[in-house]
Amino acid sequence: VSELRQDPVTGLWVAVATERAKRPHEFISAAKWGVETSGACPFCPGNESETPPEVMAYRMPGTAPDTPGWQVRVVPNLYPAFGPATGESAMRTEGPYRAMHALGVHEVLIITPEHRADIGALPLEDVKTLVRCYVDRYLAHRNDPTIEYITIVHNHGREAGASREHPHSQLFGIPLVPSAVETELAGLRRWREERAGCAYCDLVQYECKTGDRLVYENEQFVVFAPYASRVPFETWSIPKAHWGDFEAMNEGQQAQFADALRALLAKVVRGLNGVSFNYWIHSAPCRTAGGDLYHWHLELLPKLSIQAGFELGAGVMIETVPPEQAAAFLRGVDVEGAFGR
Ligand SMILES: [Zn+2]
Ligand SMILES: [Zn+2]
Ligand SMILES: [Zn+2]
């Protein structure tokens, strides 16, 4: 568990590891490690004792917890960035600074028993199961009084920060609304005051009409390359209807979202040769203002570029692939069919 520290000028929060801090020499050897490929994988069936006890699993009738027979298995992160309180008060000050304990939850969602499952070629049924698991875990935590915000992220590949090859997502329940979402909320509020309506609804409508940046759409979801993409082949999936809470999806909407997510993953992973990527879900805050203002979505950023001095210093990304070209390319990639690495 770490400590949340706030930059007093920008307001940005940083989670600083206090208990299990890395020593400087660990960074030197870390560069040589890849994603581990051999040895016992704690996420594979048969190795359930290598993880903390499961908090949820979809498993075959008659199989016991922490034994094989599961399709999806959720366990607490062995080294959580956010976790239960350890006694001290939540918020404290130090001179001009503010800090608080990183209260919350940090879970690992093992989305398939198959170590080498290719996330770009998952059958629709498996993606539906993944989406159901995401919704279930949101619902499990959204009424926890210490949690202000829940996000689910998926890291794929070493360059994207995945420390294990076995496909898994992570849920973070944190005690504040992250600045990325605060920024979006402020923009949505401004848009509503100036033009009425929801910015994301307007974008979806425009992207569907023009089609230049459209990658995929079904009845209820659209997948597109955002107009101001931050990295090459950035792609979003967003519901066509206005709604703020990811976890409010019913079964039919979950199936539609699974179809859109599967198309997005297949096109990005196949089209870009198994590229590393991160995706995350942005949903409305659990309690604080947001209400009917927010419009949830999934953002996927492939790891094809490295931020250099200007990007880091100015916060202005230099985009080398126009989103219109990226979208045209991804539109042409088949969702079905063979895929070899
Ligand atoms: Zn494994
Ligand atoms: Zn909207
Ligand atoms: Zn967002």
pLDDT at 218: 97
| 201 CA to centre of ligand 2 in angstroms | 4
Given this model, what pLDDT does residue 32 score?
43
Q: Buried b / exposed e across 230-248, counting CB within 10 Å, b at 16+? A: ebbbbbbbbbbeebbbbbe
pLDDT of residue 264: 97
Taking the C-alpha atoms of residue 141 and residue 144, their distance in angstroms, rounded to an integer, is 5
115 CA to centre of ligand 1 in angstroms: 4
Handedness of CA 175, 180, 186, 192 (dihedral sign): negative
CA dihedral 285, 286, 287, 293 (to 10 degrees): 40
- Give the model's pLDDT for residue 78: 84
91 strand-pairing partners: 100
Q: Which ligand is nearest to the CA of 234?
A: 3
- Would you give per-residue pLDDT tens digits along the chain (341 residues)? 688 999 989 989 998 877 666 666 565 544 444 455 556 899 999 999 999 999 999 999 999 999 999 999 999 998 888 887 655 557 889 999 999 888 899 999 999 999 999 888 999 999 999 999 999 999 999 999 889 999 999 999 998 988 889 999 999 999 999 999 999 999 999 999 999 999 999 999 999 999 999 999 999 999 999 999 999 999 999 999 999 999 999 999 999 999 999 999 999 999 999 999 999 999 999 986 556 899 999 999 999 988 899 999 999 999 889 999 999 999 999 998 655 44
Distance from the alpha carbon of residue 30 to the mean position of ligand 1, in angstroms: 21
69 C-alpha vs ligand 1 centroid, how far in Å? 14
pLDDT at position 303 is: 95
CA nearest 214: which of 226, 230, 228?
A: 226
Cα(276) to centroid of ligand 1, in Å? 18
CA-based end-to-end distance of the chain: 37
pLDDT of residue 289: 54
Cβ–Cβ < 8 Å for 260, 238: no
State the ligand closest to the CA atom of 188. Answer: 2
Phi, psi (deg, nearest 5) at residue 148: -100, -25
Q: Please give the distance, rounded to the nearest whole angstrom, from the Cα atom of residue 220 to the centre of ligand 2.
A: 13
pLDDT value for 91: 81
> How far, in Å, is the centroid of ligand 1 from the Cα of 42?
6
Distance 67 CA to ligand 1 centre (A): 14
Q: Reduced to 3 states, what is the DSSP secondary structure of residue 326?
A: helix
Expressed in angstroms and rounded, the spacing between residue 113 Cα and the centre of ligand 1 is: 7
